[in-house]
Amino acid sequence: MGLTSSPARFITIPLSHYCERARWALDRVGLPYREEGHAPLLHRLATTRNAGRTVPVLVHGETRLIDSGAILRHADAWRGGDALYPAEDALRREIDSLEEDFVLALGPHARRWAYSHLLGDAGLIRDLWSREVPPHEARIVPLLVPIARRIIRMGYRITPATAERSLDRIRQVFREVDVRLHDGRRTLVGDRFSAADLTFASLAAPALFPSGCRAVLPSLSDVPEAMRSEILRLRETAAGEFVLRLYREERG
Ligand SMILES: N[C@@H](CCC(=O)N[C@@H](CS)C(=O)NCC(=O)O)C(=O)O
């Protein structure tokens, strides 16, 4: 284990599923941290000061990490290895490759699809962006919402057509995971929970709202009907059930 004794600074947007990915890894290995949640846009004051742009950012002693994947690897190494990434080369390669797929083919699409539904409800967005951020930021959120909604729509290229395509991509990744789980395995790679399971479960969270997820999420009853019914459908797939189980059994 590392020698740094003071808690790491963990800079987040509490709603973010990439932050949940890193948070889960830190919790899993028991690396002490203090989370500093920020409202979208205001997070940049904290991330740019630490040589980053996006969240999550982890500042642990002299080490600054500006990517959730780097935080997972750091957490594993801090624990002495073999916690999220098995030492065996073949398993490690399989996990790396699955993680890359989820980061590229699931993460951005789950976010775009979820925002395509949530951004339409200004009251809901105000509430989600105000939770678990400093009070002075929460007070600014109502002023921020109109401009931030436009920036997010542009930045993540959210239109009805792209949101539909993103939903297709989510379903496709879920189908691939369904196939992998078909032989009755309990984890995606090898016979132990790994970074591949953690990454899939956290990046799928905006499409499943798993109970036990520590990212800020709306309650199912508050989201538009079209979103709710799709989440319920996805929860019934083998991949969806798998994620709900991982949150129950492994998020702890
Ligand atoms: N590759 C990055 C991606 C993280 C990411 O896309 N974070 C989003 C929140 S989900 C973000 O910070 N968006 C605000 C921005 O781009 O400034 C990672 O895995 O850490």
Task: Tell me the pLDDT tens digit for each residue of 112-126.
Answer: 999 999 999 999 999
Task: Specify the ligand 1 atom closest to the Cα of 71.
Answer: 20
Over residues 82-110, mean pLDDT: 97
Task: Enumerate the domain spans of the chain.
Answer: 8-78, 89-250
- Assess whether the region 8-78 and the region 89-250 belong to the same CATH fold: no
Look up residue 189 and give its amino acid: V
**Ligand 1 center from residue 90 Cα (angstroms):** 29
Contact status, residue 188 vs residue 98, Cβ threshold 8 Å: yes
**Residue found by looking up tokens 């309650």 in the block:** 219
Provide the pLDDT for residue 252. 85
Ligand 1 pocket (Cβ < 6 Å) reads 13, 16, 18, 53-56, 67-69, 111
**Ligand 1 center from residue 83 Cα (angstroms):** 24
Over residues 92-119, mean pLDDT: 98
Half-sphere exposure of 196 (CA within 13 A, CB side): 21
Of the chain, the percentage scoring pLDDT greater than 70 comes to: 98
- The CATH number of 8-78 is 3.40.30.10
> Rounded distance, CA 50 to CA 43, Å?
11
Count of C-beta atoms within a 10 Å radius of residue 5: 7
Give the CATH architecture of domain 89-250.
Up-down Bundle (1.20)
Task: Specify the ligand 1 atom closest to the Cα of 69.
Answer: 19
Contact status, residue 53 vs residue 67, Cβ threshold 8 Å: no
Task: Please tell me the least confidently modeled range out of 48-57, 76-85, 218-227.
Answer: 48-57
Instruction: Identify which of 12, 13, 15, 18 to mutate to test ligand 1's pocket (most ligand atoms within 8 A of the CB).
Output: 18
Is 1 a residue whose pLDDT tops 60? Answer: no
Is 63 a residue whose pLDDT tops 70? Answer: yes
The model's pTM is 0.97
Instruction: Identify which of 19, 36, 42, 54 to mutate to test ligand 1's pocket (most ligand atoms within 8 A of the CB).
Output: 54
Provide the pLDDT for residue 220. 97
**Ligand 1 center from residue 153 Cα (angstroms):** 15
Task: Specify the ligand 1 atom closest to the Cα of 111.
Answer: 10
> Rounded distance, CA 95 to CA 195, Å?
7
Nearest to 99 by CA among 64, 70, 65: 70
Provide the pLDDT for residue 4. 56
Nearest to 246 by CA among 172, 188, 176, 190: 188
